[in-house]
Amino acid sequence: MNFSWRFRLLTLGVLLGFPVLLAAQSQWSLSQVRQDSADYSLGVRSEFFLNSDALDNDFFLAFLGNRDFIETSVKDRISDRLGSENRFGGELNTGLFFSGPLARGKGDNPFRLSYFIGLADRQHVHSIFSEDVFRLGFYGNKRFAGDTAKLGDFELHAYQYQQLQTGVHYDNGRGRILAAGLSFLKGQGQQSIEVQQLDLFTSETGDYLAADTRARVRQNDSSNTNLDAFNGLGASIDVMVQYQFNLLEVNRHGNGWLRLEVNDLGYLWWNDESLDYRVDSVYEFEGVVFDNLFDLNDSLLQSQNPSRIVDDIENSQGRSSYRTLLPAQFRLTFSQDHHRGFNFSMRIEQRLQAQFKTFVLLKESYRLKPWFRVALMGGVGGYGRYYAGAEAQLKFAHWELLLGSNSLEGVVLPKNSSGSNGYLALRTSF
């Protein structure tokens, strides 16, 4: 069966085995809607990222590339790298924006006040999983014969929504910039699974399984997940504050600034056609040999009828509305010109409710020409371990193009790293 890349990515979140129904270190920022000295600005921007602190790019390419078989050497390499807690995350964001003037000062008060509006499609997925989850999913339960696989403390969250944003951008002309945006959100699709406990025992002969599980699964109406689907509503806010801040007191080659941002602080409310499934049960399967838990077929199960619920404490399924918190970003960026044409910057980022480690990115850029700037960068944290990337910016007349990636190491060393990232922004002023 040929799966789409997104279905495979989300299926990877449950690691090919949980019996439940489940269906990009971001550059997204209000700083990109700046107006400068022009009257109007129009721009488009797109970005993606996929990263993990355990799964490498070679594995992602095999899984997302529609391969029906993943080599044992690939799985063994990942298995040796796993820790007790592993994670992966990804995003795909695409949008456009427009800004125009509201008011401008003159003389001793050179402020600029502008408005902006934007439209975007946002997609996000993140997961945390144990080493037993991966090994069960990709090796089967045969290796757990006579033992119990600990599959709890597992989470996966994936959703897609569309965003309509409006806001204001204020520059006092003396090094202080303030911006704020309010977004109205249309929920397209959402799936999540939270497993507090899932202990799976397999007998030495493989003819008996016992599962003790406590979990919750939520998803929107699966019969309506196209782009025009209206499965939820939400709202979020973005705020940015930037100050002129020269760390080098004797610097004669440029200025420095300090920027604080809060992005995507808000919620999505999914409608009452959404599924909310809870299970707190003990199950037994007996009377048939299971060489691999994931090789079961319908005829085998029907002929042997091996399953029996021992103690169904709670097994409830219903349709109701619920609320999900967006993975809000808190970001601090420092930038300083030092020698002529050179600039150093540092970005620190954290996210809420996203299984995200504090992300730190260092970047050194050089302006080769008035219209051409290049940069090298490196970082740690987020959903991965380490990062190395590059960026280029071109300016011609009223056009500006930004193109970059902070995870080129995934291309150079696919068996040793898992970073995949790219971003592009194109803006024109008139």
Mean pLDDT computed over 353-360: 92
Give pLDDT, residue 309: 44
- Three-class SS state of 241: strand
For 330, half-sphere exposure in the C-beta direction (CA atoms, 13 angstrom radius) is 8
Predicted confidence at residue 416, as pLDDT, reads 78
What's the whole-number mean pLDDT along residues 150-160? 89
pLDDT averaged over every residue in the chain = 82
For residue 89, the model assigns a pLDDT of 92
CA distance 291 to 293: 7
Strands (E), 12-106: 41-52, 86-104
Long-range CB contacts (within 8 A, 24+) of 246-255: 246/336, 247/334, 247/336, 248/336, 248/338, 251/336, 251/337, 251/338, 253/337, 253/338, 253/339, 253/340, 253/341, 253/342, 254/336, 254/337, 254/338, 254/343, 255/175, 255/337
Assign 423 a pLDDT band (cuts: 50, 70, 90). very high
**Overall average pLDDT of the 335-353 stretch:** 91
Phi first, then psi, for residue 59 (nearest 5°) are: -70, -45
- Which of helix, strand or coil describes residue 406? coil
Domain borders along the chain are 5-429
Question: From CA 25, how far away is CA 318, in angstroms rounded?
Answer: 36
pLDDT-derived band at 129, boundaries 50, 70, 90: very high
Is the pLDDT at 28 greater than 80, yes or no? Answer: no
d(CA 13, CA 282): 24
Q: Point out which residues pair with 213 in neighbouring strands.
A: 198, 281
Of residues 163 and 21, the one with the higher pLDDT is 163
pLDDT digits (tens, 9 = 90+) for 282-302: 777 765 544 544 444 444 444
User: Model confidence over 377-396: pLDDT tens digits?
Assistant: 999 999 998 899 999 999 98
Distance CA 417, CA 408 (A): 10
More confident residue, 58 or 123: 123
Q: Percent of the chain, pLDDT > 70?
A: 82
Q: What is the mean pLDDT of residues 30-46?
A: 80
Question: Does position 344 have pLDDT exceeding 80, yes or no?
Answer: yes
pLDDT higher than threshold 80 for residue 365: yes
343-360 burial, b for 16+ CB within 10 Å, e for fewer? bbbebebbbeebbbbebb
Please state which of the ranges 83-87, 101-105, 202-206, 388-392 shows the lowest mean pLDDT: 202-206
* pTM metric for this prediction: 0.83
Which pLDDT band, with edges at 50, 70 and 90, does 52 fall under? very high
Split at pLDDT 50, 70, 90, the class of 304 is: very low
Residue 259 predicted with pLDDT over 90:
yes
Q: How far apart are CA 162 and CA 111, in angstroms?
A: 33
Sorted by sequence, the CB contacts under 8 Å of residue 1 that are 6+ apart come out as none
Q: What's the pLDDT tens digit per position in 396-415?
A: 888 999 999 988 887 787 78
Q: Give, in order, the Cα–Cα distances in Å from 217 to each of 67, 108, 122, 320.
A: 28, 60, 22, 12
State yes or no: pLDDT of 180 exceeds 70.
Answer: yes
